[in-house]
Chain A
Amino acid sequence: MRRKQSRWPNHGSEKIQATLYGIASLAVLLLLWIAATSLFGWIGARILPSPFAVISRFADLLIDPFGGSTLLGHASGSLERWSLGVVAAVLLGIPIGVSFAWMPWFRAVVNPVFEVLRYIPPFAWVPIAILWFGVSTMTQASVVFIAAFPAIVINSQLGVQQVDRILLNAARVYGAGSLKTLKRVVMPVAAPSIYTGIRIAISNGWMALVGAELVVGKNGLGFLISQGQNNDSVSTIFVGIISIGALGILIDTIVHRSEAILLPWRKKLAKAESS
């Protein structure tokens, strides 16, 4: 890893240059957008609204309800359903993943079903979720759950499998029971991998939620976009897309940052491995 970096250097001055190029490129794009829409009107507002129209639409949506609630209402509705599905996936996925690794017979029994279901993409579950739960919070939360669950199970299993056999034997020699070994020896080693699983699950879940809300629902950012489509309001679609992207980044940043706080030993571990 380290050698690779030195071969493709990223010196300070080059970084500044790259940033400048990036800013320039984005600025040119923005200017082109303005020129094409509000300045010369090459492209009609029904196809591509000007950036100013999008901003003013954004401000409107913050105050005026559209499709039943304001932008914040849609966002909080989405977040609620998303967290419901993700929390359920975490609560169920970690024990199942750990027992996959801990009890091979359990894995042998459950894995065929798990593998078959895993190959079906989360969105393919939307129709059957509608059938089972109707148009309700449960429909979307269950789709989020299905999108989030496999990543947690697989990474929990991988994490537990990483545990050094010698450590387990040592724990047994010192008289630790099964449960104590799990808590004191296995979990600290497996935690980083489980955390990675949760992180993947969180972003998969967010994507699936958007898809589910586009198809079915009465509220949420995905619903806002589909309402924009039905009302031929491209600026609303833009506001929805931007909000979804921004919230996605925000969630991922929070999860990424909190890792250092929740799992302080991971950094030390990584350092010990690389030296």
Chain B
Amino acid sequence: MRRFNASRAFLISLAACVGWVLLWAWVTGAGGPVSKLMFPSPEAVFHRFLRMWTRPYLGSTLSWHIYSSLSIVLAGWILGGIVGVPLGIAMAWWKKLKWIVFPVFQLLRPVPPLAWIPLTLVWMGIGDPARITVVFIAALVPWLMNSMQSVYSVDKLLIDAGRTLGANDRQILTRIVCRTALPTLVAGARIALGNAWTTLIAAELLAATAGLGYVALNASRMLDTDVLLVAMLLIGILGGLLSVAIQLATHVLAPWSLRQSGEE
């Protein structure tokens, strides 16, 4: 097991990236072994990406598809937080509430959020509410579990110590409880957003009239491989950006939590 220094590994990675793209271009290019119907060339993907901003595909331009996906993800995610955080904290606070609600959760948790899609479709029809509901279900569990955990993570000894040293209730809340509880809560928010995004893509494959998952499935049926790849890459990039956005928000709201959870 030899160790590399970071800069050397980075250089190799950079060179490898160029190599991979060149390989991709060669394999899919004229005379290459892979047909355009199976996998598009990088130029085709790039051109299609640029064209999709102005020329509508499946009735809307790319920005509308992106907006449609993002708005539903955020709606479901925020709803999950609005329900999950207070419920989680209350469940940690009042034992009896936890005893009552938790078994129901344990019963529902093993069911993948996707399995609810047909049910929501029957109940609500093909519209935004059905997709928001599924995303909400996917986001709710991490929100709730981590809110509950964040209350447990507060060290009683620290509160007692604070009190001994003369802190008042407000100081205890802001300086001790929030500081220790936020990292877990933020982690929950991040997991919830990741789950929400994954689930939305699946929901869009099944029932949607716009959105990146909808574009991807239809592109595959019409053999528009370049569109398909644009949609896939955008799904990946937007998923990455959402997680980066949460990290940034964490930096602003609770910088100490990044250090605590051991992330860079």
Contact = CB atoms under 8 A, between A and B. Distances in A.
A105 interface: yes
Interface in A92-130: 101-105, 107-113, 116-117, 119-128, 130
Nearest to A110: B16
B9 A104 contact: yes
A128 B119 contact: no
Interface string B196-219: 011001100110000011001101
Provide the main secondary structure of the chain A interface: helix
Contacts of B220: 127-128, 130-131
Contacts of A128: 216, 220, 228-229, 232
A131 B224 CA distance: 10
Q: Of A108, A163, A245, which is in contact with the most chain B CB atoms at under 10 Å from its CB?
A: A108
B69 to A, nearest CB: 11
Q: Of A107, A117, A121, A214, which is in contact with the most chain B CB atoms at under 10 Å from its CB?
A: A121
Interface string B212-254: 1100110111010100110111011101100000000000000
Contacts of B167: none
B17 A105 contact: no
B4 A104 contact: yes
A108 B236 contact: no
Nearest to A127: B220
A245 B104 contact: no
Nearest to A222: B115
Provide the main secondary structure of the chain B interface: helix
Interface in B143-190: 152, 156
B38 A26 contact: no
Nearest to A123: B202
Contacts, number: 179
Contact of A214 (B107, B202, B232): B202
B239 A119 contact: yes
B198 A122 contact: yes
A248 B110 contact: yes
Interface stretch (A66-74, A236-244, A258-266): A236-244
B117 interface: yes
B202 A211 contact: yes
Contacts of B107: 26
Interface in A47-81: 47
Contact of B112 (A4, A107, A211): A211
B99 A131 contact: no
Nearest to B12: A108
B116 A241 contact: yes
B99 A215 contact: no
Given A108-B9, A126-B217, A127-B219, A245 B111 contact: yes
B38 A127 contact: no
A117 B232 CA distance: 9
Interface residues of A, number: 69
A22 B205 contact: no
A140 interface: no
A168 interface: yes
Contacts of B1: 101-102, 160, 163, 165, 168
Contacts of A237: 118-119, 122
Nearest to A116: B236
Contact of B201 (A24, A124, A242): A124
Contacts of B95: 14, 18
A206 B114 CA distance: 11
B114 to A, nearest CB: 5
A214 B198 contact: no
A120 to B, nearest CB: 4
Nearest to B223: A131
Interface stretch (A34-42, A83-91, A192-200, A224-232): A224-232
Given A119-B239, A120-B232, A249-B110, A108 B13 contact: yes
Given A21-B96, A116-B236, A127 B118 contact: no
B102 interface: yes
Contacts of A228: 118
A18 B197 CA distance: 35
A21 B100 contact: yes
B259 interface: no
Contacts of A130: 217, 220-221
A17 interface: yes
Nearest to B152: A8
Nearest to A241: B115
A215 B116 contact: no
Given A123-B201, A214-B206, A229-B122, A22 B103 contact: yes
7 contacts: A17-B99, A104-B4, A120-B233, A206-B112, A234-B122, A244-B111, A249-B110
Given A229-B122, A237-B118, 15 more contacts: A26-B103, A101-B1, A108-B10, A112-B17, A124-B236, A128-B220, A128-B228, A128-B232, A131-B228, A210-B114, A211-B112, A229-B118, A241-B116, A245-B108, A249-B110
